Amino acid sequence: MLNQLTISELATELAKSRASSHAATQACLDQIQRVDGQIGAFITYDAVGALAQADAADQALAGGATHAQRPLLGVPVAIKDVIAVKGQPLNCGSKILDKFISPYDATVIEKLKAAGAVVFGRLNMDEFAMGSSTENSAFHVTRNPWDTSRIPGGSSGGSAAAVAADECIAALGSDTGGSIRQPAALCGCVGLKPSYGRVSRYGLVAFASSLDQIGCLTKEVRDAAIMLEVLSGVDPCDSTSVPRAVPRYAGSLTGDIKGLKLGLPKEYRIGGLDPEVKEAIDAAVAQFQTLGAEVVEVSLPHTDYAIATYYIIATAEASANLARFDGIRYGLRVEGADPIELYARTRGAGFGAEVKRRILLGTYVLSSGYYDAYYLRAQKVRTLIRNDFLKAFEKVDAIIAPTSPTAAFKIGEKANDPLQMYLMDIFTISANLAGICGISIPCGFTKTPKLPIGLQLLGEPFGEETILRIAHAYEQSTSWHKQKPPLTR
Ligand code: GLN
């Protein structure tokens, strides 16, 4: 079944003319038909447009184009609903954008298209990427392919569920505090959050601009390396993208991690960690040692402040970024007697509860009299958190941690308790505050029910080669990533 292949497997099949992009794309569309009624990963998808791109890829292949020139030629890649694709709906999981159609391609989409990918579908997400379960989508819930009574994680829950259920070969997501890594962990796929500035954010609808990064969700580590190489690079349209050469990431996957030093943060040994998650991480540590890596303890002393710091900075930036949804420029408009009433009514009707909560909180922490007490202090603590990591990376090549304190929880279980939900991000949020890179890879399963567990590797800023190399060596010495959810078999 072509939809089950990885990027590198499909590329080989296409290059050897043993399969066509048309057939691979059709296989993904068939799988969506078969399982997405139960999973709900997609908000919409354009089957005709996808097949037309696939046919163009098949023609290019027939004309002699190679994957050395265009690494994703003919590969179906689905997109989180927060990234602009020209001519496609852009809703950010919200009602406020109504029938908005994107007039342009995000830089990452231009890059995917230049690399030959079949770019299709709008993947479900928490509204404006605010959440950890995809339950905050204004459209529908997305269900975890391993157990459809459970959440897929979030906010890129649609992306993770679609990859895990073989509804696409790979997907794009965005990560502001864990939104790629956490759903990847909960659905049993690979999720990579690049360092801040590695990938252009042009065309990514902003949630918290100093934390947001686009990344990928894939079936194995090699695919993440292939995707990252395509997505990375400086962009004149994003002044925060960094002019650094893009390495041949796949070239760093040597399988050899002998002599590398991995750090286990002592502050991550917290009470709320599920025993089965702990057991899986301990086993992974032993596996790294077997592979010849040295594992030492490190300290990240400001870890306790990460969640509070994040929820001040992220909400402050969100309150400013979301001011543009005013009923005048885009999307939904609810008429009022004057512009202020129109603005209030539109935002009242268009935003969901979590988005409103964050706008209120963000406006509060930025307001005069509170700015110094909250926002300014949070920025200072953010620097301390970043310095903790930079200090740790003087001693170790990467940091190991769980991705999420528990496996996937039941739909509705935490929906009425935002603080419980915020705690799901305890291991992922610091990486965004520090601007470093991180990857989540499968490292085991809980017993009953059988649910995926994710291991996180964190690397220094622009240290993606190292974490990919370590993740790949571990992955290739285990078989967790090869297991498929029951629904898709
Ligand atoms: N779960 C976190 C939040 O709700 C992170 C979201 C994200 O990374 N986009 O803000």
- Ligand 1 centroid, distance to 128 Cα (angstroms): 9
Q: Is the CB of 404 under 6 A from ligand 1?
A: no
- Ligand 1 centroid, distance to 178 Cα (angstroms): 6
Residues of the chain with pLDDT under 50: none
Q: Is the CB of 350 under 6 A from ligand 1?
A: no
Question: Residues 80, 111, 193, 414: which is the catalytic one?
Answer: 80
pLDDT digits (tens, 9 = 90+) for 399-409: 999 999 999 99
Question: Residues 137, 155, 200, 440: which is the catalytic one?
Answer: 155
Is the Cβ–Cβ distance between 331 and 92 less than 8 Å?
no
Mutating to test ligand 1, I would choose from 126, 151, 310, 404 the residue with most ligand atoms within 8 A of its C-beta, which is 126
Residue 63 CB neighbour total at 10 angstroms: 7
Letter string b/e over residues 97-121, b meaning 16 or more CB atoms within 10 A of that residue's CB: beebebeebbbbbbbbbebbbbbbb
Q: Is the CB of 129 under 6 A from ligand 1?
A: yes
Q: Determine the pLDDT at residue 222.
A: 98
Q: Determine the pLDDT at residue 482.
A: 95
Atom of ligand 1 nearest to the CA of 174: 9
Q: Is the CB of 175 under 6 A from ligand 1?
A: yes
- Both tokens of residue 322? 């979301």
Q: Determine the pLDDT at residue 117.
A: 98
Q: Is the CB of 131 under 6 A from ligand 1?
A: yes
Q: Determine the pLDDT at residue 488.
A: 66
80 catalytically annotated: yes
Most distant CA pair in the chain, distance:
70
Q: Is the CB of 314 under 6 A from ligand 1?
A: yes
Question: Residues 8, 94, 137, 179: which is the catalytic one?
Answer: 179
| Nearest in space to 476 (alpha carbons), one of 288, 277, 295, 293 | 288
- Both tokens of residue 205? 């609808």
Q: Is the CB of 177 under 6 A from ligand 1?
A: yes
Q: Is the CB of 155 under 6 A from ligand 1?
A: yes
* Structure-token match 């992306």, residue found: 159
- Ligand 1 centroid, distance to 384 Cα (angstroms): 21
Mutating to test ligand 1, I would choose from 82, 123, 128, 132 the residue with most ligand atoms within 8 A of its C-beta, which is 132
Q: Determine the pLDDT at residue 487.
A: 80
- Kindly report the three-state secondary structure assignment for every residue of the chain: CHHHCCHHHHHHHHHCCCCCHHHHHHHHHHHHHHHHHHHCCEEECCHHHHHHHHHHHHHHHHCCCCCCCCCCCCCEEEEECCECCCCCECCCCCCCCCCCECCCCCHHHHHHHHCCCEEEEEECCCHHHCCCCCCCCCCCCCCECCECCECCCCCCHHHHHHHHCCCCCEEEEEECCCCCHHHHHHHCCEEEECCCCCECCCCECCCCCCCCEEEEEECCHHHHHHHHHHHECCECCECCCCCCCCCCHHHHCCCCCCCCEEEEEHHHCCCCCCHHHHHHHHHHHHHHHHCCCEEEEECCCCHHHHHHHHHHHHHHHHHHHHHHCCCCCCCCCCCCCCHHHHHHHHHHHHCCHHHHHHHHHHHHHHCCCCCHHHHHHHHHHHHHHHHHHHHHHHHCCEEEEECCCCCCCECCCCCCCHHHHHHCCCCCHHHHHHCCEEEEEEEEECCCCCCEEEEEEEECCCCHHHHHHHHHHHHHCCCHHHCCCHHHC
- Both tokens of residue 459? 């690397």
Atom of ligand 1 nearest to the CA of 429: 5
Q: Is the CB of 191 under 6 A from ligand 1?
A: no
- Both tokens of residue 439? 């990857």
- Ligand 1 centroid, distance to 132 Cα (angstroms): 6
- Both tokens of residue 177? 């505090």
155 catalytically annotated: yes
- Ligand 1 centroid, distance to 214 Cα (angstroms): 13
Mutating to test ligand 1, I would choose from 211, 312, 425, 430 the residue with most ligand atoms within 8 A of its C-beta, which is 425
- Ligand 1 centroid, distance to 179 Cα (angstroms): 5
Whole-number Å distance between alpha carbons of 344 and 456:
42
- Ligand 1 centroid, distance to 212 Cα (angstroms): 9
- Ligand 1 centroid, distance to 303 Cα (angstroms): 17
